[in-house]
Homo-oligomer: A and B are copies of this chain.
């Protein structure tokens, strides 16, 4: 079935820009916070198929979004490989033990991905049953490098000291870890496809902390491995693969070379400039500064949203095809739902002109 998201991704100009928002199902919604309280921990919410389905659908009930994204967390993969996880208030996810040496890497078990992450596949099936048929469901995973960052640091990091220790003095072991993660992620994403997702996204939230050559070597190489495997697996289907490296605006040409269907952009690059840099037929997704939805006034929100559409169109010969409107990063917890409603409707209206 045709849908606006796929039309945009495959450059069918239907005079309408689709929009979805990274982390659209989440803490900025009061109805989310209610279900979250019911579930207990964040992780039990992820693992509760019924509640996670409800959370996935919540933003679609409020807003005319053009896609759903399954409600989950990128860290469920390392958890399924044996690293126990805590979600600490005001700090986010923390591993009880971090990876400190090659032996820890060897001990990681990626044979249980299909079994331990079954709740994700059940969630996908459940969402697909409840979603309108023209609303595609996006599955996802963290990139190997981004997952490795969390596993090596144990938690969010300011200076990425441990990750860089491995990059700059333990690269053989790092490669083992990244290979193992790539295999796990490929298994995980294939099972998401089997369960019924319509598109897949790789979140490389931390690739941007690397030098250009280290990004190639330790992040993009493994993203490429995954993209290739999934392309092979979904051959003949239209199942778009979206790649997003936060802080990766410098490296768009390299990312384009691995030929994902869509490249996600953060807000530090003009989307028109990005369109000119990426000359092949790869759709662009982005790239409103998420803070506008949290602390901006209506005038700013409208101006910035217009600029993205205008600049894209100008760079794309007056044509909005190939543009998926989104934020440049996950939605902020302080986001006002009213702003989201306004934005979604505005994008639909404005792109028709």
Contact = CB atoms under 8 A, between A and B. Distances in A.
Interface string A132-168: 0000000000000000000000000001111011011
B304 A211 contact: yes
B294 A161 contact: yes
A234 to B, nearest CB: 32
Contacts of A61: none
Interface in A208-251: 208, 210-214, 247, 249-250
B249 A211 contact: no
A217 to B, nearest CB: 12
Interface stretch (A19-27, A32-40, A264-272): A264-272
Interface in A165-186: 165, 167-169
A15 interface: no
Nearest to A269: B250
Interface stretch (A63-71, A295-303, A342-350): A295-303
A34 B213 CA distance: 38
A289 interface: yes
B168 A296 contact: yes
A332 interface: yes
A307 B168 CA distance: 14
Contacts of A94: none
Nearest to A291: B164
Given A250-B269, A300-B169, A160 B213 contact: no
Nearest to A288: B211
Given A168-B300, A169-B297, A250-B250, A161 B291 contact: yes
Contacts of A294: 161, 164
Interface of A: 159-162, 164-165, 167-169, 208, 210-214, 247, 249-250, 267-270, 273, 289, 291-292, 294-297, 300-301, 304, 307, 332, 334
